[in-house]
């Protein structure tokens, strides 16, 4: 097995373990993480330190659910990139790469939400599977666009080199 196959597989497994770790946090732990991120964003916005603590807490209450959804999307977009890159180490046909990557990504999103049903204070949501799947598809599209750009650059250099 070549190094690309090993490395791309290890990266997918690490991504999956990271998702599993976040999903395994009990409800209070998960909420605490997203509230910390939300508060950090509010503190960055309030650079002159002009907001009252109550105002900051209200803004955190409003943006925290959005931050959670953006985190879902972003983590799964990264997953889409990693999964299709891994599949591409074994298969070069774009259509099959997209199908396999999509199926693996969506099945993992579903299994992640099912896993959360077993964790105290957490719930599995169809809405999160949809957001995660959109993230997976976005990562796949980004990968394919980058792949096409690289192929065109390489083809151009071949033509110029003749």
Dump pLDDT digits (tens) for 48-106. Answer: 888 888 888 889 889 998 988 998 899 999 999 999 999 999 999 999 999 999 999 99
Q: How confident is the model at residue 131 (pLDDT cuts 50, 70, 90)?
A: very high
User: What pTM was computed for the model?
Assistant: 0.84
CB 5 within 8 A of CB 31: no
What is residue 3's predicted lDDT score, i.e. its pLDDT? Answer: 94
Task: State the Rg of the chain over Cα.
Answer: 20
What is residue 14's predicted lDDT score, i.e. its pLDDT? Answer: 97
Q: Closest Cα to residue 80, out of 32, 21, 146, 28? A: 146
Question: What is the Cα–Cα distance from 149 to 136, expressed in whole angstroms?
Answer: 20
Pair of tokens at residue 161: 């080199």
Residue 138 has pLDDT above 70, yes or no: yes
Within the chain, where are the H helices? 3-24, 27-45, 53-88, 94-116, 126-161
Residue 148 has pLDDT above 60, yes or no: yes
């Amino acid at each position: 097995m070549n190094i690309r196959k090993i490395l791309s597989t290890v990266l997918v497994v690490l991504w999956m373990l990271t998702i599993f770790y976040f999903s395994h946090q009990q409800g209070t732990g998960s909420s605490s993480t997203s509230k910390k991120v939300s508060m950090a964003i509010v503190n960055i916005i309030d650079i002159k330190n002009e907001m009252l603590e109550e105002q900051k807490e209200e803004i955190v209450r409003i943006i925290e659910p959005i931050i959670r959804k953006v985190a879902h999307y972003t983590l799964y977009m990264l997953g889409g990139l990693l999964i299709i890159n891994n599949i591409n180490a074994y298969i070069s046909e774009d259509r099959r790469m997209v199908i396999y990557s999509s199926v693996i990504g969506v099945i993992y999103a579903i299994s992640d939400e099912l896993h959360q049903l077993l964790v105290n204070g957490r719930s599995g949501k169809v809405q999160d599977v949809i957001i995660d799947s959109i993230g997976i598809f976005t990562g796949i599209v980004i990968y394919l666009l980058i792949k096409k750009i690289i192929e065109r650059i390489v083809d151009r250099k071949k033509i110029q080199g003749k």
